[in-house]
Amino acid sequence: MSNFEPRIVAFCCEQSGVPAAEMAKSLKLEMPSDLEFVPVPCSGRIETLQLMKALESGADGVVVFACHEENCRYLQGNRRLKGRVGYAKRLIAGIGWEKERLDVFNLATNDGVKFAELLREKAEQLRPLGPSPGK
Amino acid sequence: MIKAEQKSIEKLLEYLAPYGKIMLAGCGACVTVCQAGGEKDVALLASALRMARQKTGQPLEILEVTPARQCEPEFALELADPIGKVEAVLSVSCGVGVQTLARHFPATMIFPGVNTKFLGETVAHGVWEERCQACGDCLLEKTAGICPIARCAKQLLNGPCGGSSQGKCEIKQETDCAWQLIYDRSKSLGRLHRLTEMIPAKRWGVQSRDSGPRRIVREDLKV
């Protein structure tokens, strides 16, 4: 368990998460080693099923990086996503999986430092939980 | 349309505990609209059920199908072949669909995956409200298109009760008083005079609910 490095799937909104990720990479900030980035044009594009499928397929944690509320380029996309994450969290809790395995974070285009920090914190949170029950 | 809500995932897992291979059957009609049992909801529920069973070490194989409607024999019978390959069916159609499948496939247990709630309208995205109770003798013409059976807590037929206040119902204060709505709409349509006509009490025992399942027969359509 001490060598366990959680696999994190990060859905990144192209208006916020993607530029923040690029900034984090260009600043060579430390990030968890097992990451998969999934860029989306807006966090509202993400369906609840896609969050669940990522977990079902073996991700130890799934995070979404979305724009701040009131800042969505497509107006309500991040609000829709918030509802979907809430629904997925309730489903996950109902089936006995740890709710920490799914999360959503709001950030801005220039939040590269915050991006890396949130991912490191998430990996820290996931390590004691161990591999996903889906593995 | 019919509005329904999924049963809790805990209840569904309890139903499915003895089985290793099931069909999860959605419906392309009413439950799609209220996002309880359409194709997307089937995919999502199937994912959750598989994940739950992964955790307990008892994998569950799920055949996902969503016919156009489950309440028509022609569509239900499309499932004949795949039903033969599963141990049980979890139907997220309304109660009609569950019973249609049960009638056509008597050898297979069909579990209800949703609670059928009411006949209703979409009032906003994600919000559905009851509008009809299928009384069998529609009086909407007398009440300016607003149903006192479905929308009045007391099902009063000839005006509000003494508890109607500021347009709200005394039973549930966030609910609009149906008779206030009827009055307002009748006035705007110039049909207030219709409210002076007495509506007789419903004859539930004869018209509808006390004599078992109701039936409509169109002899001209029978082959």
Separation of alpha carbons A117 and B95, rounded Å: 50
Answer whether A133 sits within 8 Å of B51, measured CB to CB.
Answer: yes
Mean pLDDT of A3-11: 95
The interface residues of chain A toward chain B in range 73-112, judged by CB-CB distance below 8 A, are 83, 91-92, 94-97
The three-class DSSP label of residue B125 is coil
Compare CB distances from A133 to B43, B49, B55 and report the shortest one's residue: B55
Residue B111 tokens read as: 């579990």
Residue A85 has pLDDT above 60, yes or no: yes
CA A24, distance to chain mean position in Å, is: 15
In CATH, what number does A8-129 get? 3.40.50.960
Compare CB distances from A95 to B9, B40, B126 and report the shortest one's residue: B9
Length of chain B: 223
Mean pLDDT of B8-20: 97
Nearest CA in chain A to B13: A95
> Tens digit of pLDDT for each residue in B106-158?
999 999 999 999 999 999 999 999 999 999 999 999 999 999 999 999 999 99
Give contacts of B39 with chain A, Cβ < 8 Å.
Answer: none
Mean pLDDT of B200-221: 85
Counting one residue from chain A and one from chain B, the pairs whose CB atoms sit within 8 A come to 43
Give contacts of B24 with chain A, Cβ < 8 Å.
Answer: none
Give contacts of A96 with chain B, Cβ < 8 Å.
Answer: 52, 55
Separation of alpha carbons A71 and A69, rounded Å: 5
The three-class DSSP label of residue A19 is helix
- Lowest-confidence region among A25-34, A105-114, B202-211: B202-211
Please report the pLDDT score of residue A135 as a whole number: 77
Give contacts of A92 with chain B, Cβ < 8 Å.
Answer: 48, 51
Confidence of residue B205 (pLDDT cuts 50, 70, 90): confident
Characterize the bridge pairing of strands B21-25 and B88-91: parallel
> Tens digit of pLDDT for each residue in A97-126?
999 999 999 999 999 999 999 999 999 999
Encoded amino acid at B113, one letter = G
Separation of alpha carbons B77 and B75, rounded Å: 5
In CATH, what number does B2-117 get? 3.40.50.2300
Which of B54, B62, B66 is most worth mutating to test chain A (most A CB atoms within 10 A of its CB)?
B54
Give contacts of B50 with chain A, Cβ < 8 Å.
Answer: 56
Residue A2 has pLDDT above 70, yes or no: no
Please report the pLDDT score of residue A118 as a whole number: 98
Separation of alpha carbons A105 and A12, rounded Å: 10
Minimal CA separation from B202 to chain A, in Å:
42
Query: Which sequence spans correspond to the domains of chain B?
Result: 2-117, 136-211
CA A135, distance to chain mean position in Å, is: 19
Nearest CA in chain A to B8: A94
SS (HEC) of B166-184:
CCECCCCCCCECHHHHHHH
Task: Using CB atoms within 10 Å of the CB of residue B146, give its burial: 0 to 12 exposed, 13 to 18 middle, 19+ buried.
Answer: buried
This prediction has a pTM of 0.92
